[in-house]
A and B are shown apart, each in its own frame.
Chain A
Amino acid sequence: MIGIFLTVSLILTVFYSIKVGAANLSAYEIINGLINSNAAGASIIWNIRIPRILAAIIAGACMGIEGCIMQNVLRNPLASPYTMGISQGAAFGAAFAIIVLGAGTLNSTQADAVIVNNPYITVFMAFLGSMMGVITILLISKLRSITPEVMILAGVAMSAMFTAGTMFLQYFASDTQVAATIFWTFGDVERAVWNDVWIMLILMIPALIYFIYRAWDYNSLEIGEETAKGLGVDTDKIRIQGMLISTFTSAVTVAFLGVIGFVGLIAPHIMRRIIGTDHRFLIPTSAILGALILLVSDTIAKSILSPIILPVGVITAFMGGPMFLYIIIKMRR
Chain B
Amino acid sequence: MRPFLSYLLFLFGLFFFPSGLCRAQDGEFISLSLSNGKVNARIPLDLMGKRIYLASVIEQTSDAGEGVSGQMSDNCLPLEFAFDGSDLTVRYLVKPSLVDISGEIPSAIGKSSLVPDWKKFKANLSSDKSAVDADLTELFADHFNILHVFPVSAYNSQGGMVMRKHTVVREKSSVLAVENRENSAEVVSDMFFKMDGYVYGMMKVAGDFSVRAIVRKMLFAATEESCGEMLESVPEIEDLTLSSNVLQDSFSPVLEKRFACRHSLDSTGHLVFHIDVPSVWKPYVREGVLAWNTAFEKAGRGDVLQVRDAGEAENLSPYDSRIIYAPTGMQEVETNSLRDPFSGEMFSTTICLHENALQKYVSQLRFQTAATNPAVRVPQVADSVAGSVLKLLVMQAVGKSLGLVRNPAASSSYPVDSLCSVSFTRNYGIVSSVMENPVFNCVASSEDVVRGVLLVQNRPGPLDEVSIAWLYGDESVRKKALERLRNDEYLRPKAPSLKSGALPDGLSSPYSANRDLGDDAFLSFEKYSVNQKAFFPQAVDLFSGNDPDLSLTAETLKGIADEYATKVVHLCSFAGGCQTVDGTVLSLPASLQRKGVRKTIEALRDMEWFRFPKERLLPYGTVEFIADVYRTNIFNTLLGRYEKVQLCASLDCQSQDSPVSGNLFPTGYSTKDFVTDIYLGIFPERLPPGGLESYQMNWQLAFVEFLAGKSASDSCCRETLLRIRNNAIAMKCRPGTDSANHYAYLRFITDKALNIENN
- A complexed with B: no
B residues whose Cβ falls under 8 Å from a Cβ of A: none
